[in-house]
Chain A
Amino acid sequence: MSEFVVLGDEAVALGAIHGGVSSCYGYPGTPSTEIMEYLLDYSKEKGGPFASWSSNEKTALEEALGTSFAGKRAIVTMKHVGLNVAADAFMNGALLDIRGGLVIVVADDPGMHSSQNEQDTRYYADFARVPLLEPVNQQQAYDMTREAFDLSEKMGVPILLRLVTRLSHSRAAIQSSPIREENALNKADNKQDWMLLPANARRRWDSLLGRQKDMIAYSENSSVNALVMNEANRERGVITTGLGYNYYMENRGELTDNPSHLHIGVYPVPEEKIRKLAAHVKELVILEEGYPYVERLIAGLLPRDLKITGKMQNIVPLQGELTPDNVRPALGLPVRDSSVVSSMDLPGRPPQLCAGCPHDDTYRVIKEVQAELEESTVTSDIGCYALGALPPLSVPETIICMGASITAAKGSSETGLKNVMAVIGDSTFLHSGMTGLVDCVSSGTDVTIIIVDNETTAMTGGQTTILPSSRLEQVVTGIMGDGEHVITIPAHRKSHEENKVILRKELAYKGVSVIIAVRECIETARKAKKKGS
């Protein structure tokens, strides 16, 4: 056993490597990014396992299914909203006969540190009827990743591993276990179990439903789902899930009544243990990170005179992260005061585009041309350029989800808005903007799409774009049919006036135009220079 000091994300990567993973796929998304970064570095240095970024989360998951079909172990990484993109492959993947362990790691972002929403991945596990494991610290992240591969092969389903930002991006020491060999190549022998034609799918669905009892038995017997009873205290019991465990343990020393405690880290939920705890107490306090998932699930199962204290009454906050402070009221502990205060009002300091960012130059062109127009609309997408929505630029009017700038622009234009512009990054365009462009071209919509090509995936730390930037113009021209309204411009102050002329001209054109504004992200350029020198 060796000791490593690692981020939660890195603990997962190490767990996968030591657990015999053969292929690793993902799409960068904070807070999940560092899992693949670790795997990529490791793979480069050691010559394996295979690791690569994919165009988007759906392609990543499908690629991993291919690995599993071949009998080898695969891991896929994404953030919570990425699972929405991969949902089609995920829901169907649950029906396949998984032979090589398949682990899908999803990092949720309660508190929306860098996300558009706060969804709870545990619902997806329930939706697809597959198990989910949820670590509370780096050691469990490592151990559970290894366990997830075994469980996947044992149950014949993909396993979800749920992280949250606070764990993904916290550092602590872990103890590693011996390295397991990779599986031998062993293609699934019954192809009927991998072809979801209706007759097969019905049989597979029946089989999946039949395995639910095994999954519940597994969770019932898991040592992670520990129930610690205090026979003497019949007043109150506590159920924790995820990081709720840590905040409970942090405060437990101050509790005088020593409640019975059930922690749930393996799903589906252990029903027997819950019943046993519920039958013993008058009140159940539920501390869970994310949605009131367990709380809602068990409310209907339990006797009506049992009091349930949790998120549904907002005693535990319904939104944001749990903290050692905000779980205290539910535990009956006094709120902690901050006694040191300053008299001063502090202005906020929001994130902003780096000084000299190429997006800044492009937005200034858009802003000045907009000022000349009676009416205009700018939709934006997910990436550094979303920061252009904040002052002083304040240009974008919509930011919805990956790829939605182009499609939202299409809808706006088709309903009668004039001078509609969609701003999208190079990675986002390849992730899910291309299909939107296909729609625009198909209906000949009047939109001007501005691909801000900074030659990198900047927001998540500068991963390489899935295709070299120099290929973008070819891709776009291919979809457009010809290159007449595909114009590449430098995103540079020097070309400011020329760029304005081009934008005016393309706005005046009644049809689809694509302007590709190219200049490398200064952060990525700086890093490349540092590496080179």
Chain B
Amino acid sequence: MKYDIILAGVGGQGVLSLASVIATAAAKAGFKVRQSEVHGMAQRGGAVMAHMRLADGEIFSDLIGQGTADMVISMEPLESLRYLPWLSPEGILVTSITPVKNISNYPEESQIMEALSELPSVRLVDDKALAKEAGSSRAGNMVIVGAASANLPLGMKHLKAAVDSLFSRKGEAVVQANYKALDLGSHIS
């Protein structure tokens, strides 16, 4: 078994902590994990992309081949479209619908929504509203993980355990908000 995920977003959005929740959960579930990250220059508000590979056997390449990813997860709608060349025909795109407009030529939102709606398999997530409902405006990334969870080869049990190990330092309230964010996300279909 192998499961390849492209993670996307804008520098500063917390794509790496989203990645580390999935990676931690995968390790708890007994998978081998390889994850390539983006450091340095690209982080200053630029487009960021990371590859994450889960498998029950050896993984050689850190990079995922084009047209072979099982999932693209994005914290930003325009960025989600940028990595379509990696998505396999059977793969699914899970994306936030909250735009980050830090460039002057950001396209019309309706245009992006239209491009997204043309895809064979897509899940749109209003992470902002759901994070608020969960009680922490910063839990948007956990809403996205929740929304991806139905397709990930990982049970909610492992995802919650990962949230535990990553957020328990910050106190019980933060952990609970992130649990709730995961749950709210997981109900999106």
Contact = CB atoms under 8 A, between A and B. Distances in A.
Interface residues on A, range: 35 or more
B88 to A, nearest CB: 8
A342 interface: yes
Interface string A456-471: 0001110000000000
Given A167-B62, A347-B106, A351-B41, A340 B36 contact: no
Contacts of A222: none
A336 interface: yes
Contacts of A324: 61, 63-65
A321 to B, nearest CB: 8
Interface residues on B, range: 35 or more
**Majority-rule SS of A interface residues:** loop
Contacts of B68: 336
Contact of A351 (B32, B42, B62): B42
A162 B40 CA distance: 19
Contact of B35 (A172, A344, A354, A460): A172
Interface string B62-99: 11111110000000001101101111110100000000
A30 B10 CA distance: 19
B150 interface: no
A323 interface: yes
A27 to B, nearest CB: 15
Contacts, number: 148
A246 B36 CA distance: 14
A30 B39 contact: yes
Q: Which of B33, B65, B79, B103 has the most CB of A within 10 A?
A: B65
Nearest to B105: A347
B65 to A, nearest CB: 4
Contact of B34 (A172, A387, A459, A460): A172
A169 B81 CA distance: 24
A339 interface: yes
Given A172-B33, A352-B46, A342 B81 contact: yes
Contact of B37 (A170, A338, A459, A461): A170
B39 to A, nearest CB: 5
A384 B44 CA distance: 9
A325 B65 contact: yes
A338 B40 contact: no
Contacts of A394: none
5 contacts: A167-B62, A171-B35, A250-B60, A339-B67, A340-B119
Interface of A: 5, 7, 30-31, 33-34, 113-114, 166-167, 169-173, 243, 245-247, 249-250, 323-325, 336-344, 346-354, 384, 387, 392, 459-461
Given A167-B62, A344-B111, 17 more contacts: A5-B23, A170-B34, A170-B35, A173-B27, A247-B61, A249-B61, A336-B68, A338-B86, A340-B119, A341-B85, A342-B118, A342-B119, A346-B81, A346-B82, A348-B47, A351-B46, A384-B44
